[in-house]
Amino acid sequence: MKLSKVIFEEINGSGIGDPKIDFDVKGISITYTDYGQYYGTYLYDEPKTANISWKEKIRFFDDAQEYIKKLTGFELPRRYETDILDKIVDALKKKGYAADYDDAMDVS
């Protein structure tokens, strides 16, 4: 069993890609570092993703990959690929989510 799955189950009480979220997800934001590496998928309880605090963060790529694929049918790219991310965001918006992606600078 992958360590990320064990941690994810411990935190969320569920399996990979199926986090036990105790709120209605209305916004999803996918973030990469400025070097193009996956950083996290942020879930919001409001239908926007800017200027508000996220409610839940999916930190591990495999978990986010499965979660996004379950919602959209698309595979989340490990690296920052705008053509694929555009398709994912469009699919999420068609399902009623506020959605975006970025390649924010990681200062850590």
pLDDT tens string for the chain (108 positions)? 454 444 444 444 444 445 567 899 999 999 999 889 999 999 999 999 988 899 999 999 999 999 999 999 999 999 999 999 999 999 999 999 999 999 987 666
Q: Is position 21 within any domain?
A: yes
3-state secondary structure at position 88: helix
- Domain assignment present for residue 68? The answer is yes
Q: What are phi and psi of 6, to 5 degrees?
A: -60, -50
Q: Domain total for the chain?
A: 1
CB 47 within 8 A of CB 67: no
Is residue 108 included in any domain, yes or no?
no
pTM for the whole structure: 0.79
Question: Measured between alpha carbons, how far is 54 from 71 in angstroms, rounded to an integer?
Answer: 19
86 in any annotated domain? yes
Tell me, yes or no, whether 76 lies in a domain: yes
